[in-house]
């Protein structure tokens, strides 16, 4: 009885966290899409941060944007579904004490859905967070969903690194 309750909590956290990310992502994209003209940029912090309306037909940071449109359409329709399925599968075996892993998987899940909604609606993802250092370095524009995915993956990498440190080293065999 206790195990089924914990599973429900795990999935409730998934729905709550990913739902909040999806809502924030879609609200900010709606604002940008309706209040900005394509490629319009408004400075927030001079020489460092602008809000710039960009349409990304590729993956994160514009990867695959130059690939054949049919490939992109199939790839970006199937891969998010596979990723979400894998996350749900991993979530089934996540232990109750692994709250940080639930958080990270929920962030990735919510980010994937946020960008997937754009791809289904528009055929591209709306990006607008535009960081740069003067005119010397320019990071590709991104959005809330991208941020959630990157942070979720970062947390997973930290968890994996920490688990690797905590694994006891095998003793050397006697000579």
Task: State the CB neighbour count (10 A cutoff) for residue 50.
Answer: 19
Q: 50, 118, 127, 130: which is the annotated catalytic residue?
A: 127
Give the neighbor-by-neighbor strand order of the sheet with 41-45. 41-45, 49-56, 125-133, 137-138
146 is a catalytic site residue: yes
Closest to 25 in 3D by CA, of 138, 124, 113:
113
> Rounded to the nearest 10 degrees, what angle do helices 2-35 and 99-122 cross at?
40
Q: If residue 19 lies in a helix (H) or strand (E), which one and from where to where?
A: helix 2-35
* List of long-range contacts for 56-59, beta carbons under 8 Å, 24+ apart: 56/124, 56/125, 56/126, 56/127, 56/141, 57/123, 57/124, 57/125
Q: 50, 118, 130, 146: which is the annotated catalytic residue?
A: 146
Closest to 154 in 3D by CA, of 98, 104, 112:
104
Enzyme catalytic residues:
127, 146
């Amino acid at each position: 009885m206790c195990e089924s309750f914990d599973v429900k909590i795990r999935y409730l956290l998934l729905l709550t966290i990913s739902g909040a990310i999806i809502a924030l992502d879609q609200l900010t994209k709606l604002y940008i899409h309706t209040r900005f003209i394509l490629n319009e940029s408004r400075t927030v912090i001079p020489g460092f941060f602008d809000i710039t309306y960009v349409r990304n037909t590729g993956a994160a940071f514009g990867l695959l944007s130059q690939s054949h449109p049919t490939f992109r359409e199939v790839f970006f329709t199937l891969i998010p579904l596979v990723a979400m399925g894998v996350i749900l599968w991993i979530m089934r075996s996540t232990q109750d004490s692994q709250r940080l892993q639930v958080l990270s998987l929920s962030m990735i899940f919510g980010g994937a859905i946020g960008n997937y909604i754009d791809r289904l609606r528009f055929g591209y993802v709306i990006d607008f967070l535009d960081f740069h250092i003067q005119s010397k370095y320019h990071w590709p524009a991104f959005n809330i969903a991208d941020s959630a995915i990157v942070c979720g993956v970062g947390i997973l990498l930290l968890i994996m690194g920490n688990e690797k440190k905590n694994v006891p080293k095998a003793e050397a065999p006697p000579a």
